[in-house]
Amino acid sequence: MKFIKVENYEKLSRIAASIIASQVTVKPCSVLGLATGSSPLGAYARLAQMCSDGDVDFSEVISVNLDEYVGLDGTNDQSYRYFMDTNLFSKINIKPENTSVPNGCAKDLKAECERYDALIESLGGIDLQLLGIGLDGHIGFNEPDSVFTKETHEVVLDESTIEANARFFASIDDVPKTAVTMGMGAIMKARKVLLIANGKGKRDIVEKAFFGPITPAVPASILQLHPDLTVIYSEN
């Protein structure tokens, strides 16, 4: 594991963007596993700038997102599809048909989860997986549990996750209670993993996840076993 501590969010975002841009430059048809939430916003803005400056080309990139709320379709401004379209895909030259987010409105969610895993498999797996980390140690929406779940699956969100994400919704009651998330199998099989975390509030969970015991009670701790993991943390 490479653990990089930087002075601020701006620097974290610049380093994260340059790691992603290097991946795409070295392998233009990279499969990128992408995350939503506030952590990647700076890196996404930087990648958009690099793309408009002609310094990185996403025209052959394929993306698969980690997760989606159940019941929100892509036109809902709180959906993760909407987030990705707004904050990244519309600002870079990725082909819309090369972007995938789990469908949280699928009638048969089990079939949707199987379709998503088959899709990732058919792409040959993920080259670079970008992750944030939840205050309870979740990655994607893999919440603390007694086991690590391998496949894409439906999850009931923890109360702490609902509270943390309420800041994006009009009221806490509007936060969906369930989501579909990529499982630990596809994340751990990614050839590179890049996790970014910022803020003093994330210090304890970062410490537990990367310097504590490996346990499904702290889902991100499994990443300690990944052969090519980079963690970038800034306290400010």
Name the residues that contact ligand F6R, by CB under 6 A.
Answer: 35-39, 66-67, 132-134, 138-140
Q: Which of 138, 153, 158, 226 is catalytic?
A: 138
Q: How far is the CB of 158 from ligand F6R (least distance, A)?
A: 10
Interatomic CA distance for residues 143 and 85, integer angstroms = 25
Collect all residues with Cβ–Cβ distance below 8 Å to 154 and sequence separation of at least 6: 70, 109, 110, 113, 178, 179, 180
Q: Establish whether 138 is a catalytic residue.
A: yes
Decide whether 127 or 143 has the Cβ nearer to ligand F6R: 143
Q: Establish whether 174 is a catalytic residue.
A: no
Decide whether 1 or 162 has the Cβ nearer to ligand F6R: 162
Whether 9 and 234 have beta carbons less than 8 Å apart is answered as yes
Interatomic CA distance for residues 234 and 200, integer angstroms = 8
Q: How far is the CB of 164 from ligand F6R (least distance, A)?
A: 7
Q: How far is the CB of 146 from ligand F6R (least distance, A)?
A: 19
Decide whether 59 or 86 has the Cβ nearer to ligand F6R: 86
The residue type of 89 is: F
Q: Which of 136, 153, 158, 226 is catalytic?
A: 136
Nearest residue to ligand F6R, scored by beta-carbon proximity: 132
Q: Establish whether 145 is a catalytic residue.
A: no
Q: How far is the CB of 165 from ligand F6R (least distance, A)?
A: 7
Interatomic CA distance for residues 118 and 106, integer angstroms = 16
Instruction: Please state whether beta strands 178-181 and 67-69 pair in parallel, antiparallel, or not at all (unpaired).
Output: antiparallel
The crossing angle, in degrees rounded to 10, of helices 41-52 and 80-87 is 40
Q: Establish whether 153 is a catalytic residue.
A: no
DSSP-assigned beta bridge partners for residue 192? 128
Q: Which of 68, 143, 153, 158 is catalytic?
A: 143
Tokens of 228: 């090519």
Tokens of 206: 């970062």
Decide whether 133 or 232 has the Cβ nearer to ligand F6R: 133
Residues serving a catalytic function are 67, 136, 138, 143
